[in-house]
Amino acid sequence: MPAITKKETRLKLQFVANRDQSIHAGLVAVEALARRFGLWQKLGGCRCLDPRKDLKRGYSPEVIVGQLIYALCSGGGCLCDSEALNDDPLARQLFGVGKFADQSQVGQWLREQNEASVAALRKLLHELVTWVWQQAEPRRLLHAGQREVFFDDTQLEVSGKQFEGAAINYNGDLALSWQTLWVGPLLADSHVGGPGDVSDQLVPMLERNRTLWKGSAAHFYADSGSSAGHYLDAIAAEGWHYTVSYNKWTGPLERQAAELPAWAWQPVGEACHAFLRHQPEGRSAPQLFAVKRWRQDGELLERYGFIACDPGQNDAARVGERHHLKGEKEQLFSEVLNGLDLHRPPCSALRANQVYYLIAALAYNLMVAIKLLDLSDECQGWRIKTLMKKLVMLPGRLKARSRQWVVRVMVPGAWLAWWQRWAMRLWPELGPGRPRLAAASG
C-alpha cells in the first residue's frame, strides 16, 4: 500500500442563502408517526391549551407544541432552537405553516398555561403510551413476560433567584425536582416541582396510570427514595411484583439479619442471601425484605444490603438479580436528559416548565415509538442521539413540480430500500386535489 499523506486542496468557497434545503429532512418520520397517532387533531381539540381570546389571530396550540416537538426531535433543547426552525424551509412546509412562532411567543404561550393544561397534556401522554403498547410487538416491550414499571427522580439544577419552586436540594444545589414514571421504555408521566420529598408524586402517578398495567403481569422498580412505609403500602396495593431499594433505616434490619440462623442463608458466590420480615414505620403490615450479606476484602465486619419485595418472591438471590436491572432503567433518565438536552429548565415559571417537560416526554416517546414500530431488531438498542443521527439529521431539498412541493431526502445507500418501503407503507398516498407536500427518498 503506498504512503498516504495530506495534500493541499484548492477549493473555491461560495456562500448562498438557503431557500430550499434542510439538514433535518428525517423529520418526515416524526410527522408521519404523529399523524398515525392523531396527535395534531388531539392537540387542536384541547381547548384549555389555547389561551387566545381571538382565535383568528396568533398561533394555535398544535403549532406551538408541534414546533417544540420538531425542535426537540432534531436536537434542540431550548426555546431559541424552536424559533430556528424558521430557517428550515422543509420544517415549515412539512408542518404546513409559513412561519413558526419566535421564542418570545413560545415562552409566552408556556407561561399562560394552567393546571388544566398540565392535566390535558398528561392525558395525551397517557394515550400515546397506551397506543404504542397496543401497536408494538410484545417481545420488544416485555421482560420475562412482565411489564416493567419504574419510578425515579432527578434534579434539574438552576441558577439565579428567578426560578419558581426551586430550592436547595440534598446536595446543597439550587434545583428543581423532575419525577417520572416509566412503563417499559416509554415515559408515561412527568412532574416538575420543588426538591422536597423526591417521591411525593409516586402515589398520584400510580393512580393516574394504573390502566397501563392493570390486568397484566408487571414488575415495579424504585430506589430508596420510595421506601417510606406509606409508599411501600401504595406499591404493594397494586398487586404486582416489586423491588425497592432500602438503605435509609437499616438499623433494626441489620440486627435482625445478624440473628438469623446459618440455615436461613443461601450462599451464592462470595455472598449469602436470605429473607426476613420487618414492619417499617408507616407500613400497615410486615414487609418482606431480601437480604444480602458479604464481606469486603480487608474488612472484619460483614455488610448487609436490603431490598423490599413482594411476598410472592421465594429466592432471595434472584430478587437481587432482578433488582439489579433497575440500573438499566436509570439509564433511561440519562438518555432523555442528554438526548433531548433537558438538563436546564427553559422558563422561570414553574407551570411553564411542567408543560415544557410534558411536551418533551411526548417528543421522546415519538422517537422511541419510531424505533419500536418501524425499525428492525438490530436497531432496538439505539439511543435517542443515534436515532436523531440516523433518521432525523438527513439532508433534503424542496422542489416545486407541477404546482406541488416535493421533498427529496438524501439517505445512505444502505438505507434507501428501508426508506422507500417506509414511504410506501406510512406516508399518505396522493388523493383528489393537490396535497401541500409529497415525500420521496433517494
Residue 2 lies in a domain: no
Whether residue 176 has pLDDT greater than 70:
yes
| Secondary structure percentages of the chain, helix, strand, coil, to 5 | 40, 20, 40
Task: Show the domain range for 320.
Answer: 118-333
Q: What is the pLDDT of residue 438?
A: 46
* E strands present in 252-326: 266-268, 271-278, 287-294, 303-309
Residue 2, helix vs strand vs coil: coil
d(C-alpha 119, C-alpha 355), whole Å:
10
Residue 425 lies in a domain: yes
Residue 324 lies in a domain: yes
Q: What is the pLDDT of residue 361?
A: 97
d(C-alpha 111, C-alpha 356), whole Å:
10
Q: What are 84-103's pLDDT values in tens digits?
A: 999 999 999 999 999 999 99
Q: Do 56 and 163 fall into the same domain?
A: no
Q: Do 42 and 137 fall into the same domain?
A: no
* Helical pair 27-37 and 61-73, crossing angle rounded to 10 deg: 140
Q: Do 169 and 297 fall into the same domain?
A: yes
Q: Do 313 and 302 fall into the same domain?
A: yes
d(C-alpha 227, C-alpha 248), whole Å:
8
Cα angle for residues 156, 158, 164 (degrees, 5° grid): 95
Whether residue 225 has pLDDT greater than 50:
yes
Paired with 274 in beta bridges are 291
Q: What is the pLDDT of residue 122?
A: 98
Q: What is the pLDDT of residue 442?
A: 43
Question: Which of residues 431 and 179 earns the better pLDDT score?
Answer: 179
Q: What is the pLDDT of residue 431?
A: 54
CATH of the domain at 215: 3.90.350.10
Residue 322 lies in a domain: yes
Q: Do 319 and 351 fall into the same domain?
A: no
Q: Do 181 and 285 fall into the same domain?
A: yes
- The pTM assigned to this predicted structure is 0.93
H or E stretch covering 80: helix 79-83
Q: Do 311 and 217 fall into the same domain?
A: yes
Residue 10 lies in a domain: no
Whether residue 439 has pLDDT greater than 70:
no
Q: Do 76 and 166 fall into the same domain?
A: no
Residue 13 lies in a domain: no
Q: Do 112 and 123 fall into the same domain?
A: no
State the residue for C-alpha cell 381570546.
Answer: 53
Residue 233: CB atoms within 10 A of its CB come to: 15
Q: What is the pLDDT of residue 433?
A: 53
Q: Do 353 and 373 fall into the same domain?
A: yes
Q: What is the tally of structural domains in the chain?
A: 3
Q: What is the pLDDT of residue 301?
A: 86
Residue 225 lies in a domain: yes
* E strands present in 295-331: 303-309
Residue 63 lies in a domain: yes
Q: φ, ψ for residue 399 (rounded to 5)?
A: -140, 140
Contact 184, 141 (CB under 8 A): yes
Residue ending a domain, choose from 295, 317, 333: 333
Under 8 Å CB-to-CB from 122, ≥6 apart: which residues?
Answer: 189, 190, 208, 358
Q: Do 412 and 267 fall into the same domain?
A: no
Q: Do 109 and 152 fall into the same domain?
A: no
Round the average pLDDT of the chain to a whole number and report it: 91
Contact 379, 39 (CB under 8 A): no
Q: What are 294-348's pLDDT values in tens digits?
A: 998 878 888 999 999 999 999 999 999 999 999 999 998 889 999 999 988 999 9
